[in-house]
Amino acid sequence: MTRLRSRLASSNNALGKGLLTALSGDTLDDSVWEEVEDTLLGADLGVDATTEIVDGLKRRVQVEGAPTTEKLESWLHEELLAQVGPDMDRRIAGTRVGDRPAVIMVVGVNGTGKTTTIGKLARVLVAEDKDILLGAADTFRAAAADQLETWGARVGVPTVRSAKEGADPAAVAFDAVKAGRDNEVDVVLIDTAGRLHNKVGLMDELAKVKRVIEKQSPIDECLLVLDATTGQNGMRQAEVFAQAAEITGVVLTKLDGTAKGGIVVLVQRELGVPVKLVGLGEGADDLAPFDPKAFVDAVLD
């Protein structure tokens, strides 16, 4: 996980520096704790996690007295790690389930990085010798299916799509899962639409895609793709998708471009599911499993 660490370090350690600067004075009075709170909130950790971290640090000071810098770093490490869900199950449904393929549905607002994530994930699975099939159930824009197909070609996996724009997304998803079953592939990855301006329409569409897939196969994984740079806005999107589909994990993209990595903590708390993967760039190799310890190391580096 040194890659996660080095990719995050450049943008993310503003949080660690801010915390250590705030706590580096001779006294730990209210103004210091307020600064710590502001720093944590500014990194999108949210109020609840921020309060717990600050309370935890205060308790330690009460019990152990004023800390050395080294001690402080190790306390911060422990407090942050506890918030990042170190024991959550982050495995991806990446292999056949009995006599059928695993089905992974990928949801999220357009532009968050859904298609790119599917391409990257397909590449990871292909490298593990898995047979993959992609389903382009974002039929609203022909370009979306083209983009998915391009990723498919790049990593050498077929894409099931509709020839015409505006086809029924549920029908494409159905065809993809059927083709996956018929061809005995290991995993079917389904891309979906994410036009948030029509929330009701979007939720109905996702619910229908889900229902129609489930006529032939359970959905093993529903990954929500969130853009880490959108902060609180991303959280509101997450809530909408969580109502429409049963989210099993989050992919946090564009973590290479933000100092607001605290969104990891917030999203896991709010949705009750783990961040399983992180996007660290636009390239085919820029997807990594989320490693809580490496993440905290990078933040506090």
Residue ranges at the known binding site for GTP: 108-115, 191-195, 253-256
**Does position 13 bind ligand GDP by CB under 6 A?**
no
Number of C-beta neighbours around residue 110 at 10 A: 16
**Which of 12, 39, 112, 248 is close enough to bind ligand GDP by CB under 6 A?**
112
Least Cβ distance, residue 279 to ligand GDP (angstroms)? 2
d(CA 253, CA 247): 16
Six-digit token pair at 13? 């350690």
Q: Phi/psi at 265 (nearest 5 deg)?
A: -65, -45
Amino acid at the residue 11:
S
**Does position 289 bind ligand GDP by CB under 6 A?**
no
**Does position 139 bind ligand GDP by CB under 6 A?**
no
Annotated binding site: 108-115, 191-195, 253-256
Count of residues binding ligand GDP (CB under 6 A)?
Answer: 17
Site string for ligand GDP, 80-109 (x = CB under 6 A): ----------------------------x-
Least Cβ distance, residue 159 to ligand GDP (angstroms)? 14
d(CA 178, CA 274): 29
Q: What is the residue whose two structure tokens read 């999220």?
A: 108
**Which of 46, 94, 261, 279 is close enough to bind ligand GDP by CB under 6 A?**
279
Q: How far is CA 66 from CA 60, 69, 81, 105, 257, in A?
A: 9, 10, 21, 50, 35
Closest chain position to ligand GDP (CB):
279
Short-list 252, 248, 259, CA closest to 287 = 252
Binding segment for ligand GDP (CB under 6 A), chosen from 20-28, 111-119, 123-131, 265-273, is 111-119
**Which of 280, 288, 296, 299 is close enough to bind ligand GDP by CB under 6 A?**
280
Six-digit token pair at 165? 């724009």
